Chains A and B, each alone.
Chain A
Amino acid sequence: MAFELETASHPETLKRVAIEPVSRVEGHGKVTLLLDDDNKVHQVRLHIVEFRGFERFIQGRPYWEVPVMVQRLCGICPVSHHLAASKAMDMILGAKLTPTAEKLRRLMHYGQILQSHALHFFHLSSPDLLFGFGSDMATRNIVGVAAAVPEVAKKGVLLRKYGQEIIRLTAGKRVHGTGAVPGGVNKSLSVEERDLLLKDIYQMVAWSREAVGIIKGLFEKNLAEYNAFGRFDAHSMGLVRADGAMDLYHGGLRARDKSGEIIFDHFDYGHYWEKISEDVKPWSYMKFPFMKHLGPDEGWYRVGPLTRVANCDFIPTPLADHERKEFLAYDAGRPAGATLGYHWARMIEMLHAAESIKDLLHDEDILGTDLMAKGERQERGVGVIEAPRGTLIHHYRVNEDDLVIRANLIVSTTHNNQAMNESIRQVARQYFDGREVTEGLLNHIEVAIRCFDPCLSCATHALGQMPLEVTLEDAAGNTIDSLYKDAHGVSRGK
């Protein structure tokens, strides 16, 4: 079944507008809209146009190589792939991590959450939020933010830098390190390294609180618009700790329906396929996951910061938990169901990451030397982690010669595939019908996509300078109008 606005009944009679590539996201995607002569929207699709094939070329490689190889999926969230694959390989080894190894991996992961969330909020999304979705595109970028509110931009850059320093000290490099290995980690922190991180952590916690304040203030200022923008109801899924707390590194799967009722709880992710399956559509390389018992039409769901903050029973760090309660109670909970609420929830998670880092830096275990564990060898390993963008599933089978024979990866953005499509269809309904297509209007579509912080699978960074060409064609394929933007500005032509 096609969803509403997914497939027009007579596309050959409609005008096509394409946003290609979508900018200020990671990876390559495009959006197509089909409009009739009155500019009424009949079809909206987010297409993921790149094909990577990691699941195939991992096959035949030794299992210990996988955590390092698969992180090359991305330059923004490599730590997430590195850790999810390492967790899967822990299972292959039957290893239960030592306290030092687990805490160092958690430290690496929270560093990743901190730097990724800071990058997304300050560098990629704050230009839309601070200047307006349809504002002048010449300044709607991080350079514009730095010029208008230099203190905000500076804190964003330094928050990200701090997260990357944690990754460097735990993984060996800021990007694409090797810290986690099957069964443990290959290094602990020295006292000097720990003290270096301790020096700035309180500042990071304070700045993360300020960041929550920024997005909260923006909601207060634009409440009706923010609550309604690209809004849709959806099921949700994510990991929670055994006691119901937010846990971004490990836990059981919890899913809620649209009304917030639990569908399943504390489900062992080692058997995720009993709950989740994937659908395919001919117009996108990205699959469409769904909950099996509900089927592809009713079973799609969303993941990521918004669902994690609402899905858990509490956040186990005090400042973030306080902000969570305020977020869920604000305006009778409406922001917690809004697409733009992702930004608010994301900043609450950044605060939680900063607090968790602070706690770990005060834990002597991270200076330990007991780094590796072994166990009884298994054939199958599943590693699940809550990556910055949502639930990340790595699943491998390894043969007796130690080579991977099967791999299945369901990355965060894939879970959100249908949700992103729903969101941009909603925006198209809200803003496009009957109006002339402009660059500012088209940016509304991108604003909705950016809420999910999609990683369209690699490390492309646009910073508002990625070329964007929009063409308006008539039913015969003739170009009626076109807009082109690049680092030098916007030009219009026919």
Chain B
Amino acid sequence: MSENTFLLDGEAIPFVPGQTVMQAAKAAGKYIPHLCWHPEFKPHGSCKLCTVKANGRFVSSCTMEAAAGVTIENRTPELDDKRRTLLQLLFVEGNHFCPSCEKSGNCLLQATAYDLGMMSPHFDHFFPDRPVDASHPDILLDFNRCILCSLCVQASEQADKKNVFVMGGRGMRGRRIIINSESGKLGDTDFAASDRAASICPVGVILKKRVGFAVPIGERKYDQAPASVVEVTK
């Protein structure tokens, strides 16, 4: 094994010092399931879907720096089983009605669940009471589908320099995305449809108005290829 490589499911993966395991894996075309990680932003390590075993210990691959000689287990039955459980928890925690969701076919949560073979939600649904914010002329917010990945927070802060979204609240039912305006409504912020945060949401929370279902079935992002292919080529 050369100096700057680690083993991912038995295959040597090269890395540049400073890269995370996730970054190196992606560069090598290897898929590690993830939801809250995005190549443009600093890893957040919150969804835990990218958890791998490094030398036998559970770690988040999006935050762990790659190191030479480390043995990483990724797509093992044990880890994929835990990932399915995490997905099931996310599905029951929000209100994810894929049949009528305009993000269906373009949704990373849905595509990952398909990819990992999640067949049912398994757990009882919470059916939380979450708001829809339609106050903005061009953007709809449907928090029923929020998985608290915080990508909108980072995009608005780091790319748009606006801080429109912040993570707030405490507890299982209290933790949520808050709109940074006096009224708490998006329509009272300087958010724009051209903002990076407007197109960062991996699920169906931040949506451009009046264009839902414009892309026919068969031509949507994950109709073309599964998440395990799309997510290593984006």
Closest A residue, CB atoms, query B97: A69
Q: Is the CB of B100 within 8 A of A65?
A: yes
Instruction: Determine which of A62, A72, A179, A403 lies in contact with B212 in the assembled complex, contact meaning CB atoms within 8 Å.
Output: A62
Q: Is the CB of A181 within 8 A of B134?
A: no
A62-B140, A65-B102, A72-B100 as given contacts; A401 in contact with B213, CB under 8 Å: no
Q: Is the CB of B213 within 8 A of A64?
A: yes
The answer, yes or no, to whether B218 is at the interface (CB within 8 Å) is yes
Complex: how many Å from CA A69 to CA B212?
Answer: 12
Main secondary structure of the interface of A (DSSP, over half): loop
A60-B132, A401-B134 as given contacts; A186 in contact with B213, CB under 8 Å: yes
> What 1/0 mask marks residues of chain A from 175 to 215 whose CB sits below 8 Å from any chain B CB?
01111011000110000000000000000000000000000
A65-B100, A402-B209 as given contacts; A179 in contact with B140, CB under 8 Å: no
The answer, yes or no, to whether B214 is at the interface (CB within 8 Å) is yes
Q: Is the CB of B100 within 8 A of A172?
A: no
User: Nearest chain A CB to B127's CB is how many angstroms away?
Assistant: 12
User: Cβ of B209: which chain A residues have Cβ within 8 Å of it?
Assistant: 62, 64, 402
Q: Is the CB of B212 within 8 A of A64?
A: yes
Chain B, range 205-223, C-beta contacts under 8 Å to A:
207, 209-219
Main secondary structure of the interface of B (DSSP, over half): loop
The answer, yes or no, to whether A420 is at the interface (CB within 8 Å) is no
Instruction: Determine which of A68, A171, A177, A186 lies in contact with B100 in the assembled complex, contact meaning CB atoms within 8 Å.
Output: A68
Q: Is the CB of B102 within 8 A of A72?
A: no
Complex: how many Å from CA A173 to CA B218?
Answer: 9
A64-B102, A68-B100, A402-B209 as given contacts; A179 in contact with B216, CB under 8 Å: yes
Complex: how many Å from CA A178 to CA B207?
Answer: 17
Complex: how many Å from CA A176 to CA B99?
Answer: 8
Q: Is the CB of A173 within 8 A of B217?
A: yes
User: Cβ of B132: which chain A residues have Cβ within 8 Å of it?
Assistant: 60-62, 403
User: Cβ of B99: which chain A residues have Cβ within 8 Å of it?
Assistant: 68-69, 72, 176
Instruction: Determine which of B134, B140, B213 lies in contact with A178 in the assembled complex, contact meaning CB atoms within 8 Å.
Output: B213
User: Nearest chain A CB to B224's CB is how many angstroms away?
Assistant: 14
The answer, yes or no, to whether B55 is at the interface (CB within 8 Å) is no
The answer, yes or no, to whether B135 is at the interface (CB within 8 Å) is yes
* A–B complex contacts, Cβ < 8 Å, 25 sampled: A60-B132, A62-B132, A62-B134, A64-B210, A64-B211, A64-B212, A64-B213, A65-B101, A65-B102, A65-B212, A67-B213, A68-B102, A68-B213, A69-B99, A172-B217, A176-B99, A177-B217, A181-B213, A181-B214, A186-B213, A186-B214, A186-B216, A401-B135, A402-B209, A403-B132
List the 6 closest pairs (A to B, CB-CB), nearest first. A172-B217, A69-B100, A401-B134, A187-B216, A64-B212, A186-B216
